[in-house]
Structure 1
Amino acid sequence: MPECWDGLSGLTSTLPDTVLSHLFSQEELVNNTELVQSYRQQIGNVVNQANLQLFWNMYNSRRDLDINRPGTVPNAKTLRCPVMLVVGDNAPAEDGVVECNSKLDPTTTTFLKMADSGGLPQVTQPGKLTEAFKYFLQGMGYMPSASMTRLARSRTASLTSASSVDGSRPQACTHSESSEGLGQVNHTMEVSC
């Protein structure tokens, strides 16, 4: 298997292990062995290793988008469309997603941090992510008749009460809106089991 050079520590590891440590948190690598082993097997046996190495090299050589929050820098470049950023709690990419969120227009950006989902919320919590995405689209005026289950009920309850709907455990989503400046609203959702 190809080995990767870790420029910080000088250690080498196999490319599949390097990719796995990018996809999963350390906690997941230790505790979610069945899912991690499934991915290790797929990455090591199914994926063309030469192509994986090329992909990894391109990923590591990507550059910053050079965007800034409107109003913080004269003529700031930013995304003008609605954006939904999703990251699992304790995901390896959490800091990068939070930093990206800080550079986007808070009036058009929704930040979703999913509890109990780690580095791959689309794999570990697909139902919750799908429902959050439906809600995001509904907020833009699409899918007005989409049935929203736990997420919608939880959002309504969290905006009116600090306690959960059933009183026994946290609900699927907490949606908070806070002003960071005049007329700016920051959309943040945290999804938990």
Structure 2
Amino acid sequence: MPECWDGEHDIETPYGLLHVVIRGSPKGNRPAILTYHDVGLNHKLCFNTFFNFEDMQEITKHFVVCHVDAPGQQVGASQFPQGYQFPSMEQLAAMLPSVVQHFGFKYVIGIGVGAGAYVLAKFALIFPDLVEGLVLMNIDPNGKGWIDWAATKLSGLTSTLPDTVLSHLFSQEELVSNTELVQSYRQQISNVVNQANLQLFWNMYNSRRDLDISRPGTVPNAKTLRCPVMLVVGDNAPAEDGVVECNSKLDPTTTTFLKMADSGGLPQVTQPGKLTEAFKYFLQGMGYISGACVSLGGQAYRERPGESSQESNSRPPGDRAPLQPVWGQAGQREAKPHSETRRGHRAPEVPGEHGWDGWLHT
């Protein structure tokens, strides 16, 4: 891969062109961060707030970032011709190796939301050696049955497409309150995303099959995600039940479940600071930030010997020695070798009755 591919690219894949935006340049042998947005959005609407957050930029300067737009969902996309067959969710996942190979990435850390989380999970199941870790927000591992299909069809008859999509993205409470955020997304979904192309993506997402994963040991030859996973959902999100079920199907030794307090359907937009903090711990668990560092409010602090992160964080700022995160050198981990980290290294525990959730309440 050349020094810098910064900018927009159209990548040929077995199932058509894929619009990709690269930010930054490769950092040695570190994985790329690859994002995939939810239905109704594109990479800008889904991730700009999160990736433009100051502390997140401190992280991403150590990685190349690859934003993937689902076919026809990018800003300014041409409308697909009559009769165009939108790729299935499995085919969307099968398009991603072409992106990885085109840029010469060895493996990626995926960050997906909703439909994008499903695509990345499917990608990791089919091509496990290309995926180093996954952050899956608002993922629903279940396919759509006939009742769900009928309800979706009925909703399409009584609501506009943007309003139907909004009910997928936001909680009922958020919609009833009609917050500025909801109003903004209604306007942008209506005017920024090509409506015909969006309808095709929406229809395909609502025709998806079960993700077909099971917790290891529960069934013979269980399929599961082999990489570290961080599941994320707001405690007031429409996807909450789906994410809880997904958590029950994953390996508990490599999965972290983050339920964000006082958060609705788009935690990466409404609470980018808390999500960034969790992502730092996730990277620490994979060996990309030294375990001797914990981050608090954009500043990193060293723990005292024998002291927990919670005890360290409870001390006043003047009693903590500031320390910048220690990033592993290119191709060298601070924790475990690649195969060990991918197969069984667990993210560090965070104090709280409900794991990450208890910590993020504070």
TM beyond 0.5: yes
Cα distance in 2 between the residues matched to 1:89 and 1:16 = 23
CA offset digits 1:44-85 (Å, max 9, x no partner): 111100111011011101111111000110111111110000
SS where residue 98 of structure 1 aligns? helix
For the 8 Å contact 1:174–1:189, the answer to whether it is kept is yes
Deviation sequence 1:81-122 (CA, Å, 0-9, x none):
100000011100010000000000000000000012210000
Contact 2:149 2:206 in 1 (8 A): no
Check 1:149–1:48 CA distance in 2 against 1; reply closer, same or farther (3 A cut): same
- Secondary structure in structure 1 of the residue aligned to 2:174: helix
**Aligned counterpart in structure 2 of residue 79 of structure 1, from 225, 231, 236:** 225
For residue 151 of structure 2, the aligned residue among 1, 8, 24 is: 8
Counterpart selection for 1:42 from 188, 196, 217: 188
Aligned residues: 167
The reply to whether residue 137 of structure 1 matches residue 298 of structure 2 is no
1:27 CA displacement? 1.1
1:26 matches 2:172: yes
Say whether residues 1:156 and 2:323 are aligned partners. no
3-state DSSP of counterpart to 2:233: strand
Q: Which runs of 4+ in 1 moved over 4 A?
A: 150-153
Whole-angstrom distance in 2 between the partners of 1:138 and 1:176? 21
CA contact (8 A) 1:134 1:146 kept: no
CA RMSD of aligned residues (A): 2.8
What are the equivalent positions in structure 2 for 1:173-192 lying under 5 Å apart?
174-175=351-352, 188-190=355-357, 191-192=360-361
Contact 1:112 1:189 in 2 (8 A): yes
Separation in 2 of the partners of 1:6 and 1:67? 22
Shift in alpha-carbon separation, 1:49–1:104, aligned structure 2, 3 A: same
Q: Confirm or deny that 1:93 pairs with 2:239.
A: yes
Name stretches of at least 5 consecutive residues in structure 1 with no aligned partner.
167-172, 178-187
CA 146–42 in structure 1, closer or farther in 2 if over 3 Å, else same? farther
Q: Quick one: percent identity of the two aligned structures?
A: 77
Give the TM-score normalised by structure 2: 0.42
Please report how far the alpha carbon of residue 37 of structure 1 lies from its aligned counterpart in structure 2 after TM superposition: 0.3
Secondary structure at the counterpart of residue 243 of structure 2: helix
Residue 56 in 1 paired to residue 199 in 2? no
Change (3 A) 1:13 1:174: farther
Change (3 A) 1:174 1:34: farther
Name which of 251, 256, 260 aligns with 1:114: 260
CA contact (8 A) 2:225 2:250 kept: yes
